[in-house]
Amino acid sequence: MKNLEKIIREHKNEFDENEPQEAHFKNFLEKLNTPKKRNLFESIPNFLKVAVIITFVIFSGFIGYQIRNMQENTYGLGTISPEYREVEAFYTANINSQLGMLKQLGSFDKEQHQSILSEELKDMDERYSQLKKELKLHPDDDRIIQAMIEYYQVKTNVLNRIIEQLYQIKKQNRNKLNTAV
Report the candidate in 163, 162, 131, 125 with the shortest Cα–Cα distance to residue 147.
131
Predicted TM-score of the model (pTM): 0.54
d(CA 52, CA 58): 10
pLDDT tens-place string over residues 23-69: 777 777 777 777 766 666 666 778 887 888 888 888 888 888 788 76
Asked if residue 65 belongs to a domain, the reply is: no
pLDDT tens-place string over residues 64-110: 878 876 655 567 778 888 888 899 999 999 999 988 888 787 655 56
Residue span of the structural domain in which 100 resides: 74-180
d(CA 117, CA 123): 10
Asked if residue 21 belongs to a domain, the reply is: no
Asked if residue 152 belongs to a domain, the reply is: yes
Split at pLDDT 50, 70, 90, the class of 139 is confident
Asked if residue 46 belongs to a domain, the reply is: no
The total of structural domains in the chain comes to: 1
d(CA 92, CA 78): 11
Asked if residue 169 belongs to a domain, the reply is: yes
Asked if residue 36 belongs to a domain, the reply is: no
Asked if residue 47 belongs to a domain, the reply is: no
Asked if residue 43 belongs to a domain, the reply is: no
What was the pLDDT predicted at 108?
56
